[in-house]
Amino acid sequence: MPTTAAIATDAGRMPGDVQGTPQLLAERAYKLLVRKITRLESEPGSVLVERDLMQEFGIGRTPIREALQRLASERLVNHRPNRGMFVSEITASSVQEIYEFRSVVDGHAAWLAATRATPAQVAELARLHQRLLRATEDEDIDDYVESDRHFYRVLGEAAHNALISDTIPRIFNLHLRLWFFISQKTGSWQPVAQAHEVMTLGLVKALERRDPAAAKQAMESYIAGRLGDIKRVL
């Protein structure tokens, strides 16, 4: 990640700040924070200090605050009045809630996609499944994460329900962090990735057959498996 040793000014900008519109800076801050939090570089329960983040990212105070507020709305960050912003804890109850919600939303998205996806969307999901396989073989975690993010976004769009397509990307980072948490505890991300690829293959095949029950089953089985994994390591 980009870093800088510059000292923040009273106005909240830093010498050598990343340049761009306020919206672009806030988006950049958001993406950098997502990476730190989902990959457990910022540990669950740790405090997020604005001045430290400004120095690390080379981005001013306002975009950092906007990014933190966005992450708070996504439940990756908790705002504690008079104390600051903290990375959300990973607890048995929060994990249960995340996977229960995923089972409902992602499972139904899979069902709808099997009846509503366009041929182009099915083909794109099949292409992304192959890209996930290659990323695992190449041990390219960055490409794997971006391919997976794209896979879920296309799945949401393939459901042809605006509320579902808006929700799936918003919860992606919650389960991505748990994916990294399981991988950290077990010592490798490839087994988790391979289990995920069983789901993506089953889902694609179900969509190709226009079989909503099989599509939903593929997704729900995968989610139940990951919930079992994380319960064993918590």
Q: Distance (Å, rounded) from C-alpha 42 to C-alpha 25?
A: 20
Helix, strand, coil share (%) of the chain residues, nearest 5: 70, 5, 25
**What is the model's pLDDT at position 93?**
96
Which of 185, 188, 194, 174 minimizes the C-alpha distance to 229? 185
pLDDT in tens, 57-86: 999 999 999 999 999 999 999 999 888 999
**What is the model's pLDDT at position 22?**
84
Which of 126, 132, 137 minimizes the C-alpha distance to 179? 132
DSSP code at position 6: P
CB 44 within 8 A of CB 90: yes
pLDDT under 50 in the chain at which residues?
1-17
Portions of the chain given CATH number 1.10.10.10:
22-87
State the CATH class of domain 22-87: mainly alpha
**What is the model's pLDDT at position 7?**
27
**What is the model's pLDDT at position 18?**
52
Computed on alpha carbons and rounded to an integer, the radius of gyration of the chain in Å comes to 19
CA distances from 95 to 130, 133, 181 (A): 29, 27, 11
**What is the model's pLDDT at position 20?**
72
**What is the model's pLDDT at position 19?**
62
Portions of the chain given CATH number 1.20.120.530:
92-233
CATH topology for the 92-233 domain: Four Helix Bundle (Hemerythrin (Met), subunit A) (1.20.120)
